Amino acid sequence: MPHEEDRTARRPALAGSLHGQAREVQRVLEDQGYTDIVIGGADPWGCGKEDSTSNKFTAKGPTGRQVRGVVCGTGGWTKGYTVRVY
């Protein structure tokens, strides 16, 4: 079992990768015309089995209406991202 200091040392890297993912989701939504974006946590049932990432969000959609949904993707490597509004 790793020492406590070993586990603690890994936390900033994980936090940095999650922050980077949130920035990418923000960029994807802004590129689609969404504003007032609030990004939430993962949505395990909102995406397909081929997706490796999912982030819930609320935002003002391109038509000006408030929406909620999920951004699904593979981290941008193969298929990019899909925005699903529900």
21 confidence band (pLDDT: 50, 70, 90): confident
> Number of folded domains in the chain?
1
> What is the mean pLDDT of the segment spanning 11-29?
67
Supply the pTM of this predicted model.
Answer: 0.73
Whole-number pLDDT of residue 76? 58
pLDDT per position as a tens digit, 25-77: 999 999 999 999 999 999 989 999 888 889 999 999 999 999 999 999 886 56
Residues of the domain holding 67: 4-85
**Confidence at residue 18, expressed as pLDDT on a 0 to 100 scale:** 52
Pair 17, 42: CB distance under 8 Å: no
* E strands in the chain: 35-39, 53-60, 66-73, 81-85
